[in-house]
Structure 1
Amino acid sequence: MAATSSFAPPKLADFILTEKLGSGTYATVYKAYSKGDSREAVAVKVVGKKTLNKASMENLLTEIEILKTVRHPHIVQLKDFQWDSENIYLILEWCSGGDLSRFIRSRRLLPESVARRFLQQIAIALQYLHERNISHLDLKPQNILLSGSVLKLADFGFAQYMSPWDEQCVLRGSPLYMAPEMVCRRQYDSRADLWSVGVILYEALFGRAPFASRSYTELEEKIRSDKPIEKELVVQAIQKDQEGERAAALSLYCSSLEHFVPAIHYETDRLRKETLRQKVSQYVSRAEELKALVASDNRQIFEEAKTTRDILREMSADHPRLRVALQLASTAIAKEQSGLDENDALDLYQQCLGELLLALAAEPQGRRRELLHGEIKSLMTRAEYLKDQIKMQETQKDVSLAREPLSESVRSSCCLQ
């Protein structure tokens, strides 16, 4: 019956738990419906008692206490909580739009007008909490839910009652969104939430967190560094270029342009504006060269893979599911080459790769397995190539908004077609 060990969701007297929405170290969240006449949709956070240590139990009790006392249109409402011998259940308001992280990923980045509106909603909720001496301490896009166009702060598992003058040094939250004083293990106060809001705003506007890192040490170094983020991306692009990784270099150059082009638009100092123009011209020139090289590299790879695909199709007469997956791959390639709906083509690639990976797992050693392995690698390359194309075309739209003389040049460099 424990949520963490059973495939079937646990049972509650008043609710029917259905699909699993997500899970973490201590909890699993399900969508559920009331058994009453209303059939109201809710989210049920199931916490297995056996998974809780003393600290996590205290956090859970604080979360329940806080959510029971707050009522705000931009904070997820706790409707009830229950428990049995195995689990503790938090019955929460259902938000049909998923989380902000998924929303940003689906659009790659958000227009300034949308980001501004979302930021206002987060600020209103945070002001309400801070007026009541409550700090969230784990603000990130995954913990902000959407109900229509309304944002709601969620997951108060690390929240604490903190007066403005209170200080703590306990590490809480998610590293990418932690304030510097937390990352550096120094004392912090309720203002730590404000740093997290800034990181969320950056991610909404640029599609990625500003200090992505593989470790606390690397994260701390990046936060302490006074090197501009766009300069760091260019350094990475030059490094990949020198190492011969053309596709990666092109992607990084265009990512850096996402930062530079808005900077040109908003820069008011003429000398700095001209310096930025010169930088962009230099990066655009190299991106145009890389665009042609990457296209040439991929044409050769894709042509070689076509012969292998034909042989594999002939060898799969006894495997209907594999033949269907290969046909799906051909449809994806044809749709990609038509250039009519690249997002649809990318979805088809993801579908056929899922089927082919299942087939590979069941395929015994032999020639067909070798060909299947090669086909999967080739299709993954195509899918990544297409994903880059879509990204560059979206960058083109963003660049055009800057309305600078360089826009046309940047647009051509950031499109692989």
Structure 2
Amino acid sequence: MSRPTSGRPSTAKSVAVIVPKLSGFVFTEKLGSGTYAVVYKAYRKSGSRQVVAIKCVLKSSLNKASTENLLTEIELLKKLNHENIVRLEDFQWDDQYIYLIMEYCSGGDLSNFIRSKRTLPENILKRFLQQIAKAMRYLREFNIAHMDLKPQNILLTSEYNPTLKIADFGFSKHLFKGDELHAMRGSPLYMAPEIICKGTYDSRVDLWSIGVIIYECLFGRAPFASRTFKELENKIWDSKPVEIPYGVNVSENCRDLILRLLRRDPDERITFDEFFNHPFVDLEHCASNESLSKAVNIVANAVKKDQNGEYKEAIKLYCDSLGHFMPAIHYEKDERKKEAIRAKVKDYMNRAEELKKLMKPKRPPPPVNGVKRTISEDPMEELTELCKDNEELTAAVTLIGAADTENSQENYEQALKHYELALSTFIKFLKEEKPGHRKDLIGKLSRSWMDEAEKIKMFLDVQNLQTEDTSAKEEENEKKYLYTEKCGIQ
């Protein structure tokens, strides 16, 4: 059964009745219609003239099942209060209609959004998925299963940088551990296999539906897209695992999540706790009203480490703060505040780059020109002489020479590799060699080589930390993405 939701456009044929009227509201455009309800955009006559979506349910069209669904929806929405769940403002009734006065979402639904873009890039999908996951985690606190998750039931607050809102709770149920349902619920394309194949199911069907939504966002179609219900049923009954379309570039974490969500056997499917803690969902770094405070706390520790000369720890904390500053920028609606956060982030990342340069290994001093040093003045020449009767030690000395040269040329990765290979030989030798001048010299030089190798390793570690200010670049890319098709730019 097709049922409309607040703020969602629809092509369904409207119910042939007189346009409803509700005291205190002015009805404007129709947003959608279904079997027993029509949704209108409206605004309050008084006060701030708040814009709302009013779901008008024709009483005469309700049967027992649809009445139960409506009562369930009202009951649940009355007590749910979450930024990613559509808000029920009020409900009223008259002789003909029941009116659900709901928050208005001007961006339409996720289904239309996907169609307008054809596919979504992974970074946009991830942000959307985090919002869905937050809403689902909230519903789990009330033991509520939605039972009809699909793009048409996920609303967008706006066209640009939208917040997602889960809607349509008519099929939802309070489910506790061990509870199972038997009635057919949901939309076939997004139904978990156990609904169709077994007829018994539980809240884990929502995890399957989320997997289908992710798949459709990335690839532009549902994994079991079919022209008929029979074709859909055959695909679901097929034991062949769901596959990622060939030739599509998907990160390993994203691929892992999709394939674990789309397991036909619910016992093999990822659990809710595993889903909420999955690295691709990454709820720790999702955009929220806590993002900025988390970033500020981390960067405060970075500054302390910086002041105390603990540069490696400081660089890591500066970089860690970026993981919270970025979502804070996306969450903030005030453009001036966004710019202020970006400016701060740029300062912190510039400081991290300065620290990287401070940690760069110092080049060895150049040889003294025109002066030939004696063996006693050049430990390496002396060591070469002492090791010439041992091929393995001679090879290790040669590796150290190569490492010193590579280090001076800033070829740090190769230098580290050669230092480590040579040191493994010298350490083995020190364990077996009898006491003597050669052993003492190798021991002394090995300690200096270990220090140099550790400096290089530390530098390479911090060099690999992400410190560039990507906030402005990502924001610009997102604006281009969201407006490209809207403006007709190819």
Give the conservation status (yes or no) of the 8 Å contact 1:97–1:146: yes
In 1, Cα distance between the equivalents of 2:250 and 2:145? Answer: 37
Specify the alignment match of 1:251 in structure 2: none
**What pairs with 1:111-150 in structure 2 (closer than 5 Å)?**
111-148=121-158, 149-150=162-163
* Aligned residue number for residue 163 of structure 1: 176
The answer to whether 1:207 aligns with 2:193 is no
Aligned to 2:457: none
Q: Which amino acid aligns with 1:90?
A: L
SS at match of 1:261: coil
Aligned twin of 1:259: 245
Partners of 2:232 and 2:252 lie apart in 1 by 28
1:219 aligns with 2:232: yes
Show the counterpart of 2:164: 151
Q: Would the alpha carbon gap of residues 145 and 265 (structure 1) be closer, same or farther in structure 2, given more than 3 Å must change?
A: closer
Q: Where does residue 194 of structure 2 map in the other structure?
A: 181
Amino acid of the structure 2 residue aligned with 1:78: L
Counterparts in 2 of 1:8-407, with a 5 A limit? 9-148=19-158, 149-227=162-240, 259-262=245-248
Q: Say whether the 8 Å CA contact 1:76–1:92 is kept in structure 2.
A: yes
Q: Deviation string for 1:6-28 (max 9, x for gaps)?
A: 3x521100111111111111211
Q: CA deviation at 1:229?
A: 6.3
Structure 1, gaps ≥5 residues long: 231-257, 268-417
Is contact 1:32-1:42 (8 Å) kept? yes
SS at match of 1:28: strand
Q: 3-state DSSP class of the match of 2:41?
A: strand
Q: Secondary structure at the match of 1:262?
A: coil
Paired residues of 1:140 and 1:196 also in contact (CA < 8 A): yes
* Cα pair 1:83 1:89 within 8 Å, conserved: yes
- The 1-side partners of 2:229 and 2:76 are apart by 30
Distance, in Å, in 2 between the alignment partners of 1:81 and 1:265 is: 45
Which residue is 2:16 aligned to? Answer: 5
Partners of 1:265 and 1:134 in 2: CA distance: 31
Distance 1:31 1:192 in 2: 32
Structure 2 counterpart of 1:316? none
CA contact (8 A) 1:79 1:93 kept: yes
What does the per-residue CA deviation read over 1:208-258, in whole Å, with 9 as the maximum and x for residues that have no partner?
11111233332122123244667xxxxxxxxxxxxxxxxxxxxxxxxxxx9
Question: What is the DSSP-based 3-state SS (H/G/I as helix, E as strand, rest coil) of the residue aligned with 2:66?
Answer: helix
Please state whether the residue corresponding to 2:245 is helix, strand or coil.
Answer: helix
Question: 2-side partners of 1:134 and 1:266: how far apart?
Answer: 31
Deviation of 1:265 after TM superposition, in Å, equals 8.1
Percent sequence identity is: 61
| Conserved? CA contact 1:9–1:17, under 8 Å | no
**What is the aligned residue count?**
237
- Asked whether the equivalents of residues 183 and 216 of structure 1 are also in contact (C-alpha less than 8 Å), the reply is no
Shift of 1:164: 2.9
How far 1:59 moved relative to its partner? Answer: 1.0
CA distance in 1, matches of 2:106, 2:223: 28
Distance (Å, rounded) in 2 between the aligned partners of 1:58 and 1:118: 31
2:146–2:169 Cα contact (<8 Å) kept: yes
**How far apart in 1 are the matches of 2:110 and 2:54?**
19
TM-score of the aligned structures, taking structure 2 as reference length: 0.46
Query: 2:197, 2:237 within 8 Å by CA — same for their partners in 1?
Result: no
State the 1:266 CA deviation: 5.9
Distance 1:166 1:227, change over 3 A: closer
**Counterparts of 1:264 and 1:123 in 2: how far apart (Å)?**
20
Amino acid at match of 1:125: A
Q: Answer yes or no: is the 8 Å Cα contact 2:15–2:34 preserved in 1.
A: no
Q: For residue 4 of structure 1, what is the amino acid of its counterpart?
A: V
- Cα 1:264–1:114, aligned 2, differ >3 Å: closer, same or farther? closer
Give the AA of the match of 2:15.
T
- Cα distance in 2 for partners of 1:49, 1:109 equals 39
Asked if the contact 1:9/1:18 (under 8 Å) is kept, the reply is no
Mapped to 1, the partners of 2:175 and 2:207 lie a distance apart of: 14
User: In the alignment, residue 159 of structure 1 is paired with which amino acid?
Assistant: S
Q: Is the 8 A contact 1:21 1:29 kept in 2?
A: yes
2:16 partner letter? S
Larger proportion of helix: 1
Indicate the SS of the match to 2:215. Answer: helix
Give, in whole Å, the separation in 1 of the partners of 2:106 and 2:81.
19
- 2 CA distance for matches of 1:264 and 1:20? 39
Describe the SS at the equivalent of 2:131: helix
8 Å CA contact 2:213–2:222 kept in 1: the answer is yes
